Amino acid sequence: MNVTTFLIAWILSVITMTLFSALIARITGKKMVEPVLISELIHRFYYRSGGTRRSLYIGWAIHFLVGIFFLLLYELLWLLTGFERVLLWGFVFGAIMGILGILGWIGIFIIHPRPPKLHFTLYYLQLFFAHIVFSITSLIIYHIFL
């Protein structure tokens, strides 16, 4: 694994995924942007609603940290399976990561004392596809740089 390529793939994949979520949020008018939701969860843990600039920064940091974890899982899947880095497996791995992401968010919403009001079905659906966007973006970066 080339560290520079990994870092570029990580940053661009998280950004692309977040832009996808922002696009869906804009189209639907619903809360969908992960770092903003993380920020809201942090703030609502201590207060009733809203968010602050500080919690937004923390939300973005957590989002990027989770992104690096997912890219490491992605690398592990490539290593363990020995599959070529092709579009089909990018979709499959993205779907796997999407399911893991949904399970993670379900867990967070269950244990949080005051989760935000969301259209959960729509949120989980877009989250599934956002992880495929993440996966395909990282695959493209790897093809460009390796």
Structure tokens at 91: 């979709």
Give the model confidence (pLDDT) of 22-75 as tens digits: 999 999 999 999 999 999 898 888 775 555 778 889 999 999 999 999 999 988
Overall pTM surpassing 0.75 (yes/no): yes
Distances (CA, A) of 94 to 33, 54, 71, 77, 133: 18, 31, 10, 11, 7
Domain locations along the chain: 3-145
